[in-house]
Structure 1
Amino acid sequence: MKSSEIIKILESDGWYWVNTVGSHHHFKHPTKPGRRRLHMEKDIRIYPALLSEDGKYVCVRFPDLPGCNTFGEDYADAIASAKDALGGHLLCMEEDNDPIPSPTPVNKLQPEEDEIAVLIDVRMDILREEERKKSVSKNVTIPAWLNKMAMEHKINFSSALQETLRDRLGV
Structure 2
Amino acid sequence: MLSIYPACFFKEADNKYSVIFPDLNWLSTCGDSIEDALSMAVDCLAGYLYTCQKNNENVPAPSSIKDISLDTIATELQLDSLQGFVNMVSVDVPAYAKEHFERSVKKTLTIPAWLNKAALEQGINFSQVLQEALIAKIKA
- Same fold by TM (over 0.5)? yes
SS where residue 46 of structure 1 aligns? Answer: strand
Is 1:51 equivalent to 2:21 in the alignment?
no
Distance 1:95 1:149, change over 3 A: closer
SS where residue 132 of structure 1 aligns? Answer: coil
Count residues with an aligned counterpart. 109
Whichever residue aligns with residue 93 of structure 2, its letter is: M
Measured against aligned partners, the alpha-carbon deviations of 1:52-90 in whole angstroms (never above 9, x if no partner) come to 122122100001011521111111111111001110111
Whichever residue aligns with residue 94 of structure 1, its letter is: Q
In 2, distance between residues paired with 1:71 and 1:117? 14
Is 1:127 equivalent to 2:96 in the alignment?
yes
Is 1:116 equivalent to 2:85 in the alignment?
yes
Q: For the aligned residues, what is the CA RMSD?
A: 3.0
Aligned pairs (5 A) from 1:1-150: 43-56=1-14, 57-112=16-71, 113-114=81-82, 115-130=84-99, 131-135=101-105, 145-147=114-116
Whichever residue aligns with residue 92 of structure 1, its letter is: T
Match of 2:77 in 1: none
In 2, distance between residues paired with 1:58 and 1:48? 15
Whichever residue aligns with residue 120 of structure 1, its letter is: V
In 1, distance between residues paired with 2:23 and 2:46? 14
Unaligned 5+ segments in structure 1 are: 1-42, 151-159, 163-171
Unaligned 5+ segments in structure 2 are: 72-80, 120-124, 128-140
In 1, distance between residues paired with 2:63 and 2:93? 19
In 2, distance between residues paired with 1:136 and 1:100? 34
Bigger relative contact order (CA 8 A; separation at least 6): 2
Larger Rg computed on CA atoms:
1
TM value normalised by structure 1: 0.55
Whichever residue aligns with residue 52 of structure 1, its letter is: F
